[in-house]
Structure 1
Amino acid sequence: MSQITILLVEDSATNRQMIGQFITRLGYRCAVAVHGLDALAYCQENRPDLILMDVVMPEMDGLQATEALRELFGESWVPIIFLTSQSELENVVLGLKAGGMTTSPSL
């Protein structure tokens, strides 16, 4: 099994289960967080290789969490990819400014 760890930050239990199973079937280790505060707490103790981040979540949304994680990680680069249905250009720009990456076909 791969030593690569992917942190999935998603408030929907259904999405966590579906995406988590997919990650595991690909042979990666999957850690989960329910919202941004959980992700921040996890990353204070662990350094994932990749973060898949929902944007709209309770407690701390994905944009706030990404900004906090970028500050926590400092010079150490951990890719953060947003998982969201929000495809308006303004939302994509906000995600990029927060320090995330996009897979939006509109860019």
Structure 2
Amino acid sequence: MTTTLIIFALMAWCVQIIFSWLQIRRFNHAFLAMKKGRYLGVGRSQTKWFKPRVLIAVSLDENQTVIDSITMKGITVFALPKTIPQLLGLNAKEIIPETIYPNDPASQSALSTALTASK
């Protein structure tokens, strides 16, 4: 019985590693497909257990205008990267994370981290 539980736990751990690798690969593929500008910032939210973690990548041109951005939000390994259409064309200095994500503190934190070095 104990051996069966150990084998089951090892198998579940291996499946988790595979799914995590696939998720990282999806994000890296979306990140590399972004239009490259002068600045490419990545921000991650600092959340507690069982809250969705958020990753945001923002690409800015020489005028500090957003030319591309992606977000990935979720608790599980099934989170997919998505574009953020409301950021396109905005100047980085004019972006207020609270207006882009009014009810999502984790996304506000990730966006402000991604934009910090550009301001």
Instruction: Name the TM-score, length of structure 1 as normaliser.
Output: 0.29
Larger-gyration structure (1/2):
2
Instruction: Name the TM-score, length of structure 2 as normaliser.
Output: 0.27
